[in-house]
Structure 1
Amino acid sequence: MYDWLLFLYHRLREQLWVKPTAICFISVVAVFAAKEANQFTWLERVPNITVESLETLLQVIAASMLVMATFAVGSMVSAYASASTDATPRTFPLIISDDVSQNALTAFVGAFMFSIVGLFALQNGYYERAGRFTLLLMTFGVFAVVIMTFVWWVDRIARLGRMGTTVEKVETTTAAALKRRIRSPRLGGKEVGARSSGATAIYSETIGYVQMVKMGDLQSLAEKYDVEIEVSALPGTFASPAQPLAYIESSVRDWEGFKDAFTAAFVIGRDRTFEDDPRFGLVVLSEIAGRALSPGINDSGTAIAVIGALVRLLILWAKPTDDEASEIAFDRVAVPELHYVDMFDDAFRMIGRDGAGAVEVMVRLQKGFCAIAAVGNEGASEVAREYSRLSVERAEGAIQSSQDLAEVKEAAQFTE
């Protein structure tokens, strides 16, 4: 249930209307709640605030906040377009979920709604002495929130959508997904064993990407029907009638009922997501580097920065941990682990292909492979050595200068 709620939370963060709608409701409630101050006798001694002075303050907010909200939306749209054009469209969900920008838009819209409703209530004699004083304090509070939010947001919007910020945001999100998978490499399931010849494959009727696997639902189904389930479609897998979601190691009498409930345990959507799919973050970073290395852009610096991010992420994944093996929470569901070969393919295949002719990129790539191999993980070291050899092979076919090629081979210290 927690994983499902977390999944919904991240999807809601990608919707711009959620926070402004919530703050509008809170603003309306706050305006009408100010009248309740008249019930407290000790507030009868507060200063008598005139209706005109309050009207002036609220009119200032009403006149400016709608303009500010419009300006905020325009700036955010420009940042989204910049990120999609300069980096990759796959970064859009991360950019749009930026908390600072959403909070700024929320503050401006909320202040506008507060001022409009407050003016309406004030001009219709809704408040008495204590109510007007309370509304004044609320108005000052709204002013303070708007000013602080604006100052904070101006600094953020100057960076939002810029290449460096986008790479950093993708790296941070991918690192969080990797850490969750490190804590639970098989999503709480057991290790995959030998599959019997009588195992039944179950396919998806919905075509799209697996965004989440509800392990608790699969465990409940396995217990109810007394079966063993082997998941074959991890988050990020393209589900189709040709790709089995899982294999069932037993016979099921009520097959239709089981299949409907089973497929509902796999959340399938049109696009991949970052939270439960660490490989997607590697793919997005690789796309950013690939676009930077295109002939029309030719930005080796961005590619080198992305290589650094990818090396940090793969070292995080390959670094030995002192933690004990994760507890098996779902003993009837077997789940495969992520493989180093697939992760290296996601991270470095595009960069090694498109940057084969750029000596500075290939040298940094070789240094990255050396750093990953030095972590001490045998599986990661073996794949890093193989990718180092492939990169040198690509460089030999793309780099014409013998001196540049010698520099690349020298950086590939462990390929000899």
Structure 2
Amino acid sequence: MLSADRLRFVFSRIKERLWVKPLMLSGLSVGGAFIAKLADNLGFSGVFPEVSLESVESLLSIMASSMMVIATFAVGSMVAAYASASASATPRSIPLVIADDVTQNALSAFIGAFIFSIVSLIAIQNQMFDSAGRFAIFALTLLVFAIVVITFVRWVDRIARLGRVVNTIEQVEKAAGDALDRRRHAPTLGALTVSPRQAEGKGLPVYSPTVGYVQHIDLETLQSHAEALKCHATVTALPGTFVCAGRPLLRIDEGLDELLEGSDEESQAFKPDAFASAFTINPNRTFDDDPRFGLLALSEIADKALSPAINDPGTAINVIGALVRLFTLWQSPREENALQKITYDRVSIPELVIEDMFDDAFTAIARDGAGLVEVSIRLQKAFCALAETGDDAMITAAKKHSRMALDRSKHALSLQDDIDAVVAAASPLSLGLQDKITR
């Protein structure tokens, strides 16, 4: 069973493979060379102008010899960009850098043009085309050449920024924003709501057959099995959760006792592995269905910039601004027509907890940036800005992290004037919003 949501997840994983687009363009290039033969079969010899065989061969030879060099150069530049992203930002951002559309399109265009020129050159040298076919190949060659030039110009601009910290922050912020936007319009992914404490309650646990991170949950599969067995499934492992032998993926209740006490056929119909198959589990986390992973990746970028080896507080400040934008997006008004309705009434899923999201985003920055007054001040301003959204849970989380960051700064900063500046930045939250927090 392949649902639309699962197809979206699979398609996102395909985009992270470098060989997919080049393979598709190579197939189209081979097909384009043989499509030119149709011009001869359709009797266009008297319509198309005459093109000399030498000119077509010369043009194809130039393209064949140059495209492989450019493709090799492109691969080398991409590998350097990936290494730069891993070293200067975080290794968790590599899938986003690899999935860059402009870079993949450039590599695909270069390889596709090389394959097209080689196949067409072989066909022409073996007298496969008449005059109409030669003109069609000539026209296709000019078209491919124009595409390569335009792609190369766009790619040069992108490769100059690909893998740089600022560009990587933008890519991670966009991925995290897309995941947060999908989750805020579908807080329980279309299932019923249950609190995290209730999700860990009674019921028959279903464990993971493998060890790793939950990347995706196919709710249509869970709903289908629950309807067939007339039971209810409560998900305990959201995307991003690390599961092992002792960590249940879900618990099954409401009707399970009747099922197990029923006939042998009904009892045999219950197979926990069928429910576990709805969970995609792999060694690494992904950004698509795991909003907290995007927040964590941004925090890692800032944390690495704060290390003594790099000492770049400006990058940490940029990340704090990105985190404020993401949390503001999370609390922005939801469009009623965009809210996902409850379509899986036999499945319950807990919502994301804002305190956990704050822990992912700000704990490492507050810990390792406590000794830098500019980072500490910007953190306190960020907490004040987030508390002004008016959401009670976010106010509580902002107040807690503001207090923790302030305590760290008091221990890490040696100059009293710096400590006073951080305290002044935190004072609007501790004083002006006290009534809202305690109410």
> Which residue of structure 2 aligns with residue 415 of structure 1?
430
- Segments of 4+ moved more than 4 angstroms: 193-198
- Return 5+ residue gaps in structure 1 as ranges: none
1:195 CA drift (Å): 6.3
- Return 5+ residue gaps in structure 2 as ranges: 261-266, 432-439
- Contact map agreement 2:208 2:243 (CA 8 A) in 1: yes
CA deviation vs aligned residue, 1:119-170 (integer Å, no higher than 9, x gap): 0000000001111111111000000000000000000000000000000000
- Contact map agreement 1:49 1:133 (CA 8 A) in 2: yes
> Which residue of structure 1 aligns with residue 359 of structure 2?
345
- Contact map agreement 2:189 2:340 (CA 8 A) in 1: no
Instruction: Tell me the percent identity.
Output: 50
TM-aligned CA distance change 1:405 to 1:118, over 3 Å: same
- Contact map agreement 2:45 2:130 (CA 8 A) in 1: no
> Which residue of structure 2 aligns with residue 271 of structure 1?
284
> Which residue of structure 2 aligns with residue 284 of structure 1?
297
- Contact map agreement 1:231 1:247 (CA 8 A) in 2: yes
Equivalent of residue 237 in structure 1, options 241, 258, 262: 241
State the distance in 2 between where 1:235 and 1:62 align: 46
The count of residues paired between Structure 1 and Structure 2 equals 416
Equivalent of residue 301 in structure 1, options 301, 308, 314: 314
> Which residue of structure 1 aligns with residue 187 of structure 2?
185
1:322 CA drift (Å): 5.0
1:385 CA drift (Å): 1.1
> Which residue of structure 1 aligns with residue 88 of structure 2?
86
State the distance in 1 between where 2:202 and 2:113 align: 64
1:379 CA drift (Å): 1.1
> Which residue of structure 1 aligns with residue 222 of structure 2?
218
Equivalent of residue 200 in structure 1, options 186, 204, 209: 204
- Which amino acid in the other structure matches residue 312 of structure 1? R
1:364 CA drift (Å): 0.4
User: Is 1:165–2:163 an aligned residue pair?
Assistant: no
Taking structure 1 as the reference length, the TM-score comes to: 0.97
Equivalent of residue 259 in structure 1, options 267, 272, 278: 272
- Contact map agreement 1:319 1:376 (CA 8 A) in 2: no
> Which residue of structure 2 aligns with residue 360 of structure 1?
374
> Which residue of structure 2 aligns with residue 392 of structure 1?
406
The Cα RMSD (Å) is 1.4
- Which amino acid in the other structure matches residue 168 of structure 1? E
1:258 CA drift (Å): 2.0
> Is the partner of 2:222 in helix, strand or coil?
helix
1:44 CA drift (Å): 1.6
Residue range with higher mean Cα deviation, 130-139 or 246-255: 246-255
CA deviation vs aligned residue, 1:22-52 (integer Å, no higher than 9, x gap): 1111111110110101233455232111111
1:260 CA drift (Å): 1.4
State the distance in 2 between where 1:122 and 1:288 align: 53
Equivalent of residue 326 in structure 2, options 299, 307, 313: 313
Residue range with higher mean Cα deviation, 249-258 or 330-339: 249-258
- Which amino acid in the other structure matches residue 398 of structure 1? A
Equivalent of residue 252 in structure 2, options 248, 251, 254: 248
Equivalent of residue 131 in structure 1, options 125, 133, 149: 133
- Contact map agreement 1:211 1:273 (CA 8 A) in 2: yes
> Is the partner of 1:229 in helix, strand or coil?
strand
> Is the partner of 2:309 in helix, strand or coil?
coil
TM-aligned CA distance change 1:219 to 1:395, over 3 Å: same
Taking structure 2 as the reference length, the TM-score comes to: 0.92
TM-aligned CA distance change 1:326 to 1:25, over 3 Å: closer
1:198 CA drift (Å): 4.7
- Which amino acid in the other structure matches residue 406 of structure 2? V
CA deviation vs aligned residue, 1:309-354 (integer Å, no higher than 9, x gap): 0111011112343527641010010000000110000000000100
TM-aligned CA distance change 1:39 to 1:278, over 3 Å: same
> Which residue of structure 1 aligns with residue 341 of structure 2?
327
> Which residue of structure 1 aligns with residue 154 of structure 2?
152
State the distance in 1 between where 2:350 and 2:132 align: 65
